[in-house]
């Protein structure tokens, strides 16, 4: 894997390998500027035909903040799994959300940039500083904690 090349892009087909999410819950279209598990930018093209806009809010569609946080977590999880899977399927579980702030509404037609930077790692636990941007405006931020595991190690 090219760990230091800022031009590395993770396309939708690789996202399908790295993440278990599928429509309507895959919140990413691609990830750009991948720097190993250290940093990356997830891209989410927000479109009117997404199911959350039927009820949030009719006539005034706004992307729910929880889905923005989920998109940040998926971006962090994908680069974490890509760097640490060593050819085996891994799952990255969302553990914590700290300091979440929402600054501006995200609406259909927006291109959401999910900028994640790894703050620390201890064994299989990771912490990422995440920001969501639309153009030149920061629309949300949060610290995300995650744990990476082998699927067969999880209790049933």
Over its length of 156 residues, how does the chain's per-residue pLDDT go in tens digits? 444 456 899 999 999 999 999 999 999 999 999 999 999 999 999 999 999 999 999 999 999 999 999 999 999 999 999 999 877 888 999 999 999 999 999 999 999 999 999 999 999 999 999 999 999 999 999 999 999 998 877 666
Regarding pTM above 0.85, the answer is: yes
Asked whether residue 98 is domain-assigned, the answer is yes
- Catalytic member of 21, 56, 84, 137: 56
Confidence at residue 6, expressed as pLDDT on a 0 to 100 scale: 60
Catalytic site includes residue 21: no
H helix runs in 21-132, sequence order: 65-84
> How far is the C-alpha of 111 from the C-alpha of 131, rounded, in Å?
14
The CATH number for 40's domain is 3.10.129.10
Confidence at residue 156, expressed as pLDDT on a 0 to 100 scale: 66
Helix (H), strand (E) at residue 14 = helix 12-18
Asked whether residue 16 is domain-assigned, the answer is yes
Asked whether residue 84 is domain-assigned, the answer is yes
* 103 CB-near residues (< 8 Å, 6+ apart): 137, 138, 139, 140, 141
Confidence at residue 153, expressed as pLDDT on a 0 to 100 scale: 75
Helix (H), strand (E) at residue 39 = strand 39-45
* 111 CB-near residues (< 8 Å, 6+ apart): 43, 44, 45, 46, 134, 135
> 17 - beta bridge partners?
none
Q: Is 86 left (phi over 0), alpha (psi -120 to 50) or beta?
A: left
Asked whether residue 7 is domain-assigned, the answer is no
Asked whether residue 2 is domain-assigned, the answer is no
Question: What domain range is 120 assigned to?
Answer: 12-153
Q: What dihedral do alpha carbons 132, 51, 57, 106 form, nearest 10°?
A: 20
Q: How many domains does the chain have?
A: 1
Confidence at residue 136, expressed as pLDDT on a 0 to 100 scale: 98
């Amino acid at each position: 894997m090219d760990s230091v090349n800022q031009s590395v892009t993770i396309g939708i087909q690789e996202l399908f390998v790295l993440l278990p999410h599928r429509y309507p819950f895959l919140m990413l279209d691609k990830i750009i500027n991948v720097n190993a598990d250290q940093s990356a930018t997830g891209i989410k093209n927000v479109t009117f035909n997404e199911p959350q806009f039927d009820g949030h809010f009719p006539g005034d569609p706004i992307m729910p903040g929880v889905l923005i946080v989920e998109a940040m977590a998926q971006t962090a999880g994908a680069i974490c799994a890509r760097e640490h899977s060593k050819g085996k399927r891994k799952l990255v579980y969302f553990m914590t959300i700290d300091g979440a702030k929402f600054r501006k509404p995200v609406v259909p037609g927006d291109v959401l940039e999910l900028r994640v930077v790894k703050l620390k790692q201890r064994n299989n636990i990771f912490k990422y500083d995440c920001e969501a941007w639309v153009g030149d405006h920061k629309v949300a931020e949060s610290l995300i904690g995650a744990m990476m595991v082998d699927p067969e190690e999880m209790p049933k």
